[in-house]
Amino acid sequence: MEKKYDNNITNTMLALLTAKSEDEINQLFDKIQEIEHLAAAHALSNRCGKNLKLMGAILHENDRKESSSINKLEYQERLLALKERELALREREAKVHSIELANLEKVQKLKSAS
């Protein structure tokens, strides 16, 4: 089953396709990671059955990460999953750019043939 992303992440992923610079791409990836961390904090809040405010949930998440080696492993797995998503997004972006380049080359050939 394919994972559904929330609208903020989806829109940010789509913005990667039109990013004009490497700096802009990195900012977008940072934004995606931030959204993922906030979502994890809210999910933790819901799992704990507590009505935590966002900052409290984030702090609780940070405490939980540091509490045991098992939790640290889970945290590292999440980071790895984020990095894998980042790599996949960069690969897709590279593919889009190569297609755009191929299309530009075709346009240039058509113009020079005319």
The number of angstroms, rounded, from the C-alpha of 95 to the middle of its chain's C-alpha atoms is: 17
CA 16/CA 27 separation, integer angstroms: 10
Check: CB of residue 9 under 8 Å from CB of residue 35. yes
Q: What is the pTM of this model?
A: 0.38
pLDDT at 39: 73
Q: Residue 18 carries which DSSP code?
A: T
Each residue's pLDDT expressed in tens, for the chain with a length of 114 residues:
556 666 777 888 788 888 888 888 888 888 888 777 777 766 766 666 555 566 566 666 666 655 656 666 777 788 888 888 888 889 999 999 999 999 999 999 999 987
CA 93/CA 25 separation, integer angstroms: 10
